[in-house]
Amino acid sequence: MGQQARARDLFRRAGAVADMLRRAGARRGRPVVAVSASSEALALTAHAAFRLACPFFPLDPALPPPIRADILAQIGECLIVGEERAVSAQAILAAPPGEALALTPPPGPALLIATSGSSGRPKVAVLTGAGLAAAARASARITPLGPGDRWLACLPLFHIGGFSILSRCALAGAEAVLHQGFDTERVFDALTRERISHVSLTPTMLAQLLSLRRPAPETLRHALVGGASLSADLARQAGADGWPVQPTYGMSETASQLATLPSLPRGWRSGHVGRPLPGAEVATDGEGGLKIRGPMVMQGYANPELTPGDGLVDGWFASNDLAEITPEGELVILGRRDDVIVTGGKKVHPASVETLLGPSGVEAVAVVGRPDPLWGEVVTAIFAGRMTADELLDWSRAHIAGAHRPRAAVRVEEMPVLANGKPDRLKLRELAARAFSSEVGAGSREENATNQ
């Protein structure tokens, strides 16, 4: 099927794939790990694994071998398919048609998803079939979905933002349209020609679609944007162009979507994602860390016995995100706890700086802290665009006050991102440190330390 496929077209081949998995040693209750970049192969294997009551674990083939080995050690006994294994991705895709199978997860452990590891060691979240169903039902309350609707899945299926589209559509009787990777022209063409009603995007994907300067797709009713901080400027541009943008927030541990703002209100600020979905409870600890409880929350992080509870306290999952809960009960996400920059004794949240950096010559930007012997850390902007590093620092000096103002800037041709579109915070920090390690590199500028 190549670049685009409909999930319904895969159903008739899933029975044959289930037979392949059974012959290869798949055993009820033990994970089937699919190592593949092919959305079709992953969707087919998910159907087949669920048919055998096996938890399904889609795994990014681009992970470095040591990280992959560590992840697999966390889950214990499993069957690995894909790549050049006994059951390869090619064999899965060549499976003959037969009985049509719906995507029906087992009620217990059903889906294993590796966390992004954007700022540390990846873990494996264990989601139950009941949790996936609860998440899909709650999503449909805020993002209505039903028969006749079509959700374009252009996010990788080995991340929860992509896979959750399959489970939502299966429960609602809607159709998932699978894309292999994100290509701006191809995605926009599908949005218009395939009469897509729903799409999930990262801010970077949205910016690339807006750069085409074309009218918003007529049939599109819901454009969920998450995975990273959506800037107010980009949201305003999308709204002015007629895109039905809905800022959303979620993670692997909550089966993706946890809160979604139905529409952009006047004066919307970055990080405002609305009320938690029905059934979800949220609270903050003494330091502003966000805690979540509800039927869509994982049963725990993986262990070889798949016993529940790891990473939960009395059913609460303590995320690494900092948040405010407004008097109206709405969530405002401030950034990640471990991304906080301490400069001159003051705490700065990168996300709050990123929303302030809005000059026209900046196409994408991320803010990190770079170690400094005098200030502890220096607020450093890493960006792509036409503007030079000197120009960005000049603009920041005129528009941003106090500790939030970047004192160093690094211009790059392309921003480092993970496969799910989130900024790769580890690589960003490495890039900032390397740019100023010995001598200022090309495209990098820093103010004099005494002027911080």
Task: Tokens 């960005």: give the residue.
Answer: 392
Mean pLDDT within 220-224? 98
Q: Are residues 322 and 267 in the same domain?
A: yes
Q: Which residue, 127, 203, 137, 210, is CA-closest to 171?
A: 137
Is residue 443 over pLDDT 70? Answer: no
List Cβ neighbours of 80 (8 Å cut-off, separation of 6 or more).
33, 35, 72
Q: Are residues 329 and 382 in the same domain?
A: no
Q: Name the least confident of 41-55, 133-147, 269-283, 328-342.
A: 328-342
Q: Name the least confident of 60-64, 309-313, 395-399.
A: 60-64
Sign for the pseudo-dihedral over CA of 70, 76, 82, 88? positive
Q: Name the least confident of 32-36, 266-270, 297-301.
A: 266-270
Interatomic CA distance for residues 349 and 379, integer angstroms: 10
Q: Which residue range is the domain that position 358 belongs to?
A: 340-451
Q: Which residue, 222, 202, 184, is CA-closest to 116?
A: 202
**Do 173 and 35 form a contact (C-beta atoms < 8 A)?**
no
Q: Which residue, 434, 349, 339, 451, is CA-closest to 393?
A: 451
Q: With bands split at pLDDT 50, 70 and 90, how would you rate the model's confidence at 117?
A: low
Q: Are residues 227 and 281 in the same domain?
A: yes
The neighbouring-strand residues paired with 175 are: 150
Q: With bands split at pLDDT 50, 70 and 90, how would you rate the model's confidence at 112?
A: very high
Task: Tokens 């009713």: give the residue.
Answer: 221
Ramachandran assignment for 258, one of left (phi > 0), alpha (psi -120 to 50 degrees), beta (any other): alpha
298 residue type, one letter: M
Q: Which residue, 387, 430, 378, 438, is CA-closest to 408?
A: 378
Sign for the pseudo-dihedral over CA of 161, 167, 171, 175? positive
Domain end point (choices 311, 335, 359): 335
User: What integer pLDDT is reported at residue 377 of this predicted model?
Assistant: 86
- Supply the angle between the helices 7-24 and 39-51 in degrees, to the nearest 10: 60
Domain count of the fold of the chain: 2
3-state secondary structure of 325: strand
Residue 136 corresponds to which tokens in the numbers above?
Answer: 């899909």
Express as a percent the part of the chain with pLDDT over 70. 95
- 3-state percent helix, strand, coil for the chain, nearest multiple of 5: 30, 25, 40
Mean pLDDT within 226-250? 91
Q: Are residues 327 and 425 in the same domain?
A: no
User: What integer pLDDT is reported at residue 449 of this predicted model?
Assistant: 44
Is residue 400 over pLDDT 80? Answer: yes
Interatomic CA distance for residues 87 and 340, integer angstroms: 44
Q: In what order do the strands lie in the sheet with 124-128?
A: 79-82, 32-35, 56-59, 109-114, 124-128, 300-301
Interatomic CA distance for residues 140 and 333, integer angstroms: 22
Is residue 116 over pLDDT 80? Answer: no
Interatomic CA distance for residues 175 and 154, integer angstroms: 14
Domain end point (choices 335, 356, 386): 335
Q: Are residues 149 and 268 in the same domain?
A: yes
Sign for the pseudo-dihedral over CA of 153, 159, 165, 171? positive
Residue 294 corresponds to which tokens in the numbers above?
Answer: 């509800």
Q: With bands split at pLDDT 50, 70 and 90, how would you rate the model's confidence at 353?
A: confident
Residue 113 corresponds to which tokens in the numbers above?
Answer: 């998803």
Q: Are residues 255 and 360 in the same domain?
A: no
Q: Name the least confident of 6-10, 65-69, 99-103.
A: 6-10
Q: Are residues 46 and 157 in the same domain?
A: yes
User: What integer pLDDT is reported at residue 267 of this predicted model?
Assistant: 87
Q: Are residues 355 and 414 in the same domain?
A: yes
Count CA atoms closer than 13 A to 134's CA, side-chain side.
20
The H or E element containing residue 58 is strand 56-59
Q: With bands split at pLDDT 50, 70 and 90, how would you rate the model's confidence at 4?
A: low
Interatomic CA distance for residues 289 and 217, integer angstroms: 38
Q: For residue 371, what is the domain's CATH number?
A: 3.30.300.30
Domain end point (choices 287, 317, 335): 335
Is residue 450 over pLDDT 60? Answer: no
Start-to-end C-alpha separation, the chain: 56
144 residue type, one letter: P
Q: Are residues 84 and 202 in the same domain?
A: yes
Residue 89 corresponds to which tokens in the numbers above?
Answer: 């991705």
Q: For residue 68, what is the domain's CATH number?
A: 3.40.50.12780
User: What integer pLDDT is reported at residue 219 of this predicted model?
Assistant: 97
Q: Are residues 325 and 397 in the same domain?
A: no
Q: How far is CA 433 from the centre of its chain?
A: 26
The H or E element containing residue 349 is none
Q: Are residues 170 and 313 in the same domain?
A: yes
Residue 375 corresponds to which tokens in the numbers above?
Answer: 């200030």
Is residue 439 over pLDDT 60? Answer: no
Q: Are residues 18 and 124 in the same domain?
A: yes
Higher per-residue confidence, 371 vs 59: 59
Residue 246 φ then ψ, to 5°: -130, 100
